[in-house]
Amino acid sequence: MTPTFVDGIAYQLGERRHDLDELTDVLQGTRHQLREAGLETYYVTDGSPTELAREPMERTLEHATEGKLGPINRVIFATNSVGHDALATPHAISRLLADVGLSSAFPLGVFLAWCANFQVALELARSLIETGQEETVLVVCSDVLWRPDRLVSPRISVHSDAAVSFTVSSHEGPFELLATAVRVDPKLGDINRETHFVQYMDGVARGVASVTQAALDAAQIGHDDVGRLIPNNYNRWVSRSMAKIAGFPEDRVYLDNVPRFAHALAADNPINLDDYHREQRPPSGECVALLGSGAFQWGVSLMRVA
């Protein structure tokens, strides 16, 4: 198995910062509950997913050039905003690739795993590297919500617009990718999460526990070998519950970005990983678990800090 590393994480939040009280279409009681659960602000952009991704991509590519990571022939866009004009038509993507200097990079799309798109993109990038087809792959997670209701069903968080980019390569970097596992339960996707909340969460619990154990088994490590769990930013209550379901104590959960920008879909995991690494300086060799949970899909990626 070819050692695979994640490097050059760069991100951008929407340019407009909002307080929860600015969600005028949301009941006051719901806003109060979200604030009690740790949320404070969220970010909105006036631009498109491609426009938001431009600056992070430029910074990641600059880092890749300085690190001599070799040519980039594949770009994986992991997004839920696939219906946006900037992604549904060729013009904006082609312009973005040309403007950032990727004149020969072939774009690939990952979008059906929702908040676990990050894990699927990692899995695809690693496969391209292990088969020898690519030396370095660029991954971009970018999402812009264009509907007025920014609540995350079932009213557990608020969407923020954000974009993040990074490289996955065979060259040594700050994070070594040990394993990724994904799981799905299609029946959950047809459940109304508002009216059948208990039934839905029971299915989520089974999925989270199963995918976590699968990733640990693939990496041949145990729960005690993981120093930090990095989940999606739903809210502090949900994140702690997810940790317990996955088999980790609450004090290992990274929650610092929950009040800052709430839920940025698949960008949560890599943004949180970058902030955790820069702010808390984890020791070399620490294993970090990144948990992505979609509507009925889940993924866990295990990384070792260099």
pLDDT digits (tens, 9 = 90+) for 123-174: 999 999 999 999 999 999 999 997 777 999 888 999 999 999 999 999 999 9
Taking the C-alpha atoms of residue 102 and residue 123, their distance in angstroms, rounded to an integer, is 22
CATH superfamily of 175-305: Thiolase/Chalcone synthase (3.40.47.10)
Taking the C-alpha atoms of residue 2 and residue 4, their distance in angstroms, rounded to an integer, is 6
237 sits in which H/E element: helix 236-246
Domain boundaries, the chain: 5-169, 175-305
For the beta carbon of residue 127, count every other beta carbon within 10 angstroms.
13
The answer, yes or no, to whether the previous bond of 249 is cis (omega within 30 of 0) is no
Which tokens sit at 140? Answer: 């971009």
pLDDT tens for the chain, residues 1 to 306: 789 999 999 999 999 999 999 988 888 899 999 999 999 999 999 999 999 999 999 999 999 999 999 999 999 999 999 888 888 888 999 999 999 999 999 999 999 999 999 999 999 999 999 999 999 999 999 999 977 779 998 889 999 999 999 999 999 999 999 999 999 998 888 888 778 777 877 888 899 999 999 999 999 999 999 999 999 999 999 999 999 999 999 999 999 999 999 999 999 999 999 999 999 999 999 999 999 987 889 999 999 999
Q: Do domains 5-169 and 175-305 have the same CATH topology?
A: yes
Taking the C-alpha atoms of residue 102 and residue 77, their distance in angstroms, rounded to an integer, is 14
Given CA atoms 87, 92, 97, 103 in this order, what sign does their dihedral have? positive
Q: Considering only the top CATH level, what class is 5-169?
A: alpha beta
pLDDT the model gives residue 121:
98
pTM as predicted: 0.95
Q: Which of 185, 192, 222, 199 is nearest to 298 (CA)?
A: 185
Contact 140, 164 (CB under 8 A): yes
Residue with tokens 């009216």: 195
pLDDT the model gives residue 271:
98
pLDDT the model gives residue 84:
86
What are the residues whose beta carbons fall under 8 Å from the beta carbon of 83, sequence distance 6 or more?
A: none
